[in-house]
Amino acid sequence: MTQAIVVEGLRKKFGHREVLHGLDFAVEAGTVFGVIGPNGAGKTTTMRCLLDIIRPSAGLVTVLGQNPRRAGTSLRRRIGYLPGELHLENRTTGRRMLEHFAAISGPVDPRHVNDLADRLNLDLDRQTRKLSKGNKQKLGLLQAFMHKPELLVLDEPTSGLDPLVQQVFHAMVREAVAAGATVFLSSHVLSEVQQAADAVAILRDGEIVTVSTVEALRMAAVRQLRFNSTGTNAHDVGALLARVPGVANVAVRELPADGHTTGTVVATATLSGHVKPLVQELARLNLTDLVLEEPDLEEAVLTLYTGGADTESVVGTGTVGSAGSPRRPEGADRA
């Protein structure tokens, strides 16, 4: 079995309202697959279909080689699930809750539970109603991870967690994958997924906009570029930037001579795609300052959310960030 999850033509209707319009995707075993999309895009509905909590209206769902509808309890023992809206009982402690789920989905090594609780810095003997949102989320993660499942289905796993605990979570995901598990997680923000995921599906209004690797998204994403150069003029710098594929939104101005070295040019632009051609061109200049920012994947994804029908092909060629930019200089079109 090389694919942990296969979803083909998945549709889900609630009454007359269809919320999933035929999803197709597959998750390779031993990888981390992220689904991102705004609230209401269908992430939670998709995950609930994998767990047989709700039933597809049409389409085929295969989880660990089995149909969740027919596989029954043995399949769910191999899955760890964190619901998007985690509700815990009030009159219990974390330990009693975990013991109950261990009794159902066990066997669970109690030392493993204590280890995870220590790492997440979670007190299992506190009443659950007194736990903060973050601590409840930790408990939810613990019940998903504790029986070392082959597949983890985690709906917004980092919501409510502080950055330190998020790092622990990412480590837990890496360890699970190293041990052969597959992780399927969702988020409404890419930054939470990009660190963990090998592949990312972008879901919008019940449809998959694209399935892409984080690397490809990074290529598609837009970086802000800013540099100063001396001994040149605005026209030359503009022409130089125009030769670089993926550069857009170029703004170049010469600083007035007084107080500066003559011929100081300040340029800003955006870059999508490969960095190397830009660096090669910039090497010709006498740079006094250079800033190339971390790509804003959020921006790339937002473009996909709102983008037109051609977004899928655009991702492939890595120019999504500049597509349709009105201020795009000539020459950049060669990308």
Partner 1 sequence: MPKILPLFAKALTDSWRSTLGWAVGLTAACMLYLPLYPSIGGSAQMQDLINALPPEMTKALNYDQIASGPGYTQATMFGLLGFLLMSMASIGWGAAAVAGDEESGLLELTLAHSVTRAQVVLERALAMVVRIAFLSVLVFLVVLGLNGPSQLGIDVGHLTGAVLLFAALALFSGTAALFAGALTGRKMYAVAAGAAVAVLGYVFNAVGRQSPDVEWLLNLSPYHWAYGNSPVANGADWGAVAGLFGISAAFIVLGSLALRQRDVGV
Which residues make up the interface to partner 1 (CB under 8 A)?
14, 48, 51-55, 72-74, 76-77, 79, 81, 83, 85-89, 91-92, 100-101, 103-107, 143
Q: Least distance in Å: CB of 321 to partner 1? A: 38
Strands (E), 156-280: 182-187, 199-204, 207-213, 222-230, 247-254, 265-272
Q: Least distance in Å: CB of 303 to partner 1? A: 32
On whether the CB atoms of residues 39 and 206 are closer than 8 A, the answer is: no
At 292, which amino acid appears? L
Residue 46 structure tokens: 């998709």
If the CB atoms of residues 33 and 81 are measured against partner 1, the closer one turns out to be 81
If the CB atoms of residues 155 and 192 are measured against partner 1, the closer one turns out to be 155
On whether the CB atoms of residues 45 and 24 are closer than 8 A, the answer is: no
If the CB atoms of residues 154 and 278 are measured against partner 1, the closer one turns out to be 154
Q: Least distance in Å: CB of 284 to partner 1? A: 59
At 152, which amino acid appears? L
CA dist 268 and 288 (Å) reads 14
Q: Least distance in Å: CB of 90 to partner 1? A: 9
If the CB atoms of residues 181 and 217 are measured against partner 1, the closer one turns out to be 181
CB atoms within 10 A of CB 292: 15
If the CB atoms of residues 78 and 328 are measured against partner 1, the closer one turns out to be 78
Q: Least distance in Å: CB of 27 to partner 1? A: 18
If the CB atoms of residues 120 and 222 are measured against partner 1, the closer one turns out to be 120
CB atoms within 10 A of CB 31: 16
Q: Least distance in Å: CB of 82 to partner 1? A: 9
If the CB atoms of residues 79 and 304 are measured against partner 1, the closer one turns out to be 79
CA dist 318 and 232 (Å) reads 30
The string of DSSP letters for 50-119 reads: HTTSS--SEEEEEETTB-HHHHTHHHHHTEEEE-SS----SSSBHHHHHHHHHHHH----HHHHHHHHHH
Q: Least distance in Å: CB of 12 to partner 1? A: 9
Residue 183 Cα distances to 51, 103, 197, 227, angstroms: 14, 23, 9, 41
